[in-house]
């Protein structure tokens, strides 16, 4: 069985590190003052970082500026 407290600590550290890099004030405990965009940005960057560490590849980037209709 995996050690959940170690995983949770690692995840929390990553969450606070990413929030700090993005300039988002994330505090321990309740963070209900965050906008949905800020929370989503933190979560999206966590996914990118986990993907990169798991595969060793850069997360795929898509060009959304030149989409045909």
Q: Identify which has the larger pLDDT, 17 or 54.
A: 17
Assigned domain for 20 exists: yes
24 with 34: CB under 8 angstroms? yes
The whole domain housing 20 covers 4-25+33-51
pLDDT the model gives residue 50? 85
Q: Looking at residue 59, what DSSP letter applies?
A: P
What does the pLDDT look like over 22-38, one tens digit per residue? 999 999 889 999 999 99
Assigned domain for 65 exists: no
Count structural domains, the chain. 1
Q: Give the span between the Cα atoms of 59 and 36, in whole angstroms.
A: 22
Assigned domain for 39 exists: yes
Residues 6+ apart with CB under 8 A from 11: 46
Q: Is the entire prediction scored with pTM above 0.85?
A: no
Assigned domain for 17 exists: yes
Cβ burial 9-36 (10 Å sphere, 16+ → b, else e): eeeeebeeebbeeeebebeeeeeeebee
Assigned domain for 69 exists: no
């Amino acid at each position: 069985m995996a050690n959940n407290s170690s995983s949770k600590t690692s995840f929390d550290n990553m969450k606070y590190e990413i929030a700090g890099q993005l300039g988002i004030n994330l505090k321990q405990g309740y963070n209900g003052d965050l906008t949905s965009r800020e929370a989503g940005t933190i979560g999206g960057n966590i996914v990118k970082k986990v993907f990169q560490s798991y595969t060793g590849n850069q997360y795929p980037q898509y060009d959304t500026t030149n989409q045909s209709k």
